[in-house]
Chains A and B, each alone.
Chain A
Amino acid sequence: MAFVLHLLDEAFARIAGGDGALVETALRTLWFASLATLFALLAGLPLALWLADGRTRARRIGLTLANAGLGLPPVVLGVYLALLLLPASPLGGLSWDYRPPAVVLAQTLLALPIVVALSAAALRTLPPGLLEQARAFGASRPQRALLALREARVGLAAAVIATLGSALAEVGAVVIVGGNIRGSTNTLASTVLLDLAASDTPGAIADALVLVALLLLLALVLTLVQQGRTRDATAEGLV
């Protein structure tokens, strides 16, 4: 136990001392994850709105693909994306290899199926007649979209938070396309690997602790959002 306590002690000292590199890494992680989530939302929400009304074959297939995409191993995405970004490849002209934009792109692509699948699921829980009724009252397409987003807001908030959380913790694709370069493309999760490789165990633990703290904060926000919804719902006992 002395070993564990010693490590924790040093890690906390590192966090309390406001280690410059640690703060910088945490901010970079948040920045990458927020950007990726934002881009994924911009592309994913319209897609989810379209897919949620899954009455045509194309929409059902799209929904199936989004659901399947949730399980895509990040390293697979990473390796193909990295290949596309090689100087002599189609996206080579961007010169993004081993640079932050590549990391954000990888994170965005990973976040997209999460946003689409979870948002579509949230939108599908709306009462069946709601949008038809709005349409019967003459609501335009954008008005109906707004109504749907408003009604499903708790589920959508959960989708956003899940997306952020997975972007914060992701390590496979980030390391492959970003190269895990200290001070440029490393995130909290990938810095754990760097620190361990450099035999800086307290540093690795400090990274992990900050990451967990961020995720717990997200979980707390989600719980508060969901409690706002269920506060007045009464639970009737079953037989």
Chain B
Amino acid sequence: MYETNYHRPSTVEEAVALLSANPDAKPLAGGQTLIPTMKQRLAAPSDLVDLRHIEALRGIKLEGRRIIIGAATTHAEVAGSEALQSACPGLASLAAHIGDPHVRHMGTLGGSVANNDPAADYPSAMLALDATIHTSTRDIKADDYFTGLFETALDEGEIIVAVSFEAPEKAAYAKFANPASLYAMAGVFVARHGAGVRVAVTGAGSDGVFRQGDMEAALSANWSPAALDSVTVSADDLMDDLHASAAYRASLIKTMAKRAVAAA
């Protein structure tokens, strides 16, 4: 790892100022992706701005039916939150199965959403739950936020403060994890709000997380695993690598979607 300067701001303003003052600085959340990447010298930020000590980025709140989760909330905190286990158990369960216990004690929701790894779990939940990403400067709908592989709508120096969404009537996540990396080879999050159903897929798309419109239509008409029998998942635009062929991933998407609906 190349040398770097560590900073520990206590407010969002201070963090943004540090990032703006140092063009090669990077925000550091749980560090479970960034630190391994720096160790391999694939990233060499001049400065690291630790976001874990900013009070405004912490905590899980319920305002009516609206759930607000601070960006620096760890996977273990999301998994263990009684409020979430009651209002959106699908998201708590998703967090409980990210990586391993040690990673979950450090890794954060905001870090995962900012990194937008094409095999990460949280992006599918944000997209399916129609979440809003609240940043240091604006609010971004999840549909406009995830723009490609490791790409998001975030500008330089803009940091995620929180995410929020309406508690769904039904929601669940099912993934087929790569047994070595534990990242999703296909993960599907399904969510139902009233008549609207959203289905988002991670781990499989060659351009990152995406919504599966045919499944959304089928489940809007009939919320049951059997409703997905008639849906054909195309292998076009799916990742094809040594872990799984595009056709296998297409098959996994359908199986995971059925499991998610059954679990919701």
Q: Do A and B come from one complex?
A: no
